[in-house]
Amino acid sequence: MRYVRPRLEFVPQRLSLGVVRASHWVLPFLLRVRTRPWLPAGIARIEAVNAEGLVKLYQRFQAGEVRFLMAFRHPEVDDPMSLMYLFSRILPGVARRQKIALQLPLHTHFLYDRGMPLWAGNWLEWLFSRLGGMPIHRGRALDWTAIRAARELFANGSMPITIAPEGATNGHSEIVSPLEPGVAQLGFWCVDDLRRAQRSQEVLIVPIGVQYRYPKPPWAQLDRLMGRLEADCGLPPAPPFDPRARDGFEEALYARLLRLAERLLDTMEKFYSRFNHRPLEELSPKIADLTGDPHPQLALRLQALLDVALRTAERHFGIASTGEIAERCRKLEEAGWIDTYREDLLALGRLSRLEQDLADWVAQAAILPVKHMRLVESFVAVTGSYVRERPTAERFAETTLILFDLVSRIKGEKNPRRPRLGWRQARISVGEPISVTERWSVYHTSRSAARQAVQRLTGDLQQALEKLID
């Protein structure tokens, strides 16, 4: 984005059952193409736990008895295709076996990040709108246009609605990021809308867990990927991987991961100190707590470094360094969009050449601060102990791929395609529905009670999603 653009307009959903049916029909082919059939990689199997419960909810929804929203875990970019497979293949099969007649196709409305079509292309905007999707402007405190559209569909749409309450992918199948309160608030608004319309349907929120596993641990592929990252970081090559000598291999791989993390932290700390022309202790007070220890804990160093990167970007836009990391990232994304998609320049063609060039300067200047934010964005859920607690192939892979994202972004690769390490299995778990209607008596008593009810429902949903992790 080196040139200023007109304001970002809201893209209304234009659900087309023809497009939905076509997407369901080509899904197996798309999965094969996406997973590169000539390579031993991709999603080999998608299974569902408690799919029967979701089939019964669809039956009650189509009978006009309930309205429900599915709040799903969002660890990977493959999640939408996994969920589409659930709706198009697994649920209809379960319904047939149980002799439950459902109106097909089974599908949902959904919210997606407004920024997705900006990097994927306008075709995605067209497709998502025809699949019943609505964009939400995450960086805005309240995107009322998207909120009103979602509220209308939740109460009156012909299909349920699906939302990722974490707000974005976190790259971890076994960590649930802090949830945003929007899902809970939408639930209470739906109860309110139904009561105003004198409708008695129950409002439910259904937690959906999404998790990925490697049926065959991809140790050799991880060895090669780490070798690429080590070469990019200037580290000497590790001893060659011997698949026959499995004893102690996990320990050796973990030692390499630690060495790689140390090199990346050292390099990035030196970069930010030099880039900002100030000692790190001045850039982030957290750094001062780490001095004097030759081997400080990686998690503390990482959090301090993320704080430095965000402060660097926030200083450019004049934003206060307050809030959690995810919240600060959203504010910076919005600031970058404000300077690139200018709402104050409604008619760009009417600008003088000088005004146009100056507006382009502003858009260009926003690129680097947003890059700092993108580096941080991938590390929101990284704890520093994720692999050590359970050194499984999945946790090794997730952490190494996050490091791959970091190195690729620094190398200037736009939307780097992650390497496929091996065949994976997706496990989709349907949790017990949470009744929002039963909580209405507390919610509507006062504003403070409403805030507490939203917080309590958000917390209960967080726990429900965490319980779905296998």
Measured distance between the N- and C-terminal CA atoms of the chain, rounded to whole angstroms: 41
Collapsed DSSP state (helix, strand, coil) of residue 297? coil
Letter string b/e over residues 23-36, b meaning 16 or more CB atoms within 10 A of that residue's CB: bbeebeeebeeebe
Q: Round to whole Å and give the CA distance between 169 and 75.
A: 5
Q: Round to whole Å and give the CA distance between 407 and 413.
A: 9
> What are the C-alpha distances in Å from 452 to residues 271, 360, 458?
43, 45, 10
**How many residues appear in the chain?**
470
Q: Round to whole Å and give the CA distance between 141 and 374.
A: 20
Q: Round to whole Å and give the CA distance between 291 and 149.
A: 51
CB 107 within 8 A of CB 159: yes
CB 51 within 8 A of CB 90: yes
- For the chain, domains (ranges, CATH) are 16-215+424-467 (3.40.1130.10), 233-419 (no CATH)
Pairing of strands 66-72, 202-213: parallel
CB 172 within 8 A of CB 390: no
- Helix (H) / strand (E) element for 230: namely helix 219-232
CA angle in degrees (0–180, nearest 5) for 257-413-174: 45
**Count of C-beta atoms within a 10 Å radius of residue 383:** 16
The two structure tokens encoding residue 14: 């234009």
CB 440 within 8 A of CB 188: yes
> What are the C-alpha distances in Å from 199 to residues 60, 195, 430, 444?
15, 6, 27, 17
pLDDT in tens, the chain (470 residues): 568 887 778 889 999 999 999 999 988 777 665 544 444 457 888 999 999 999 999 999 999 999 999 999 999 888 998 999 999 999 999 999 999 999 999 999 999 988 888 777 788 899 999 999 999 887 666 788 889 999 999 999 999 999 999 988 888 999 999 999 999 999 999 999 999 999 999 999 999 999 999 999 888 899 999 999 999 999 998 887 776 666 667 888 888 998 999 899 889 988 998 888 878 878 887 777 765 554 557 788 888 899 999 999 999 999 999 988 888 998 999 899 888 888 777 666 677 888 888 889 999 999 999 999 988 988 877 877 888 889 899 999 999 999 998 898 888 776 667 788 888 899 999 999 999 999 999 999 999 999 999 999 999 999 999 999 98
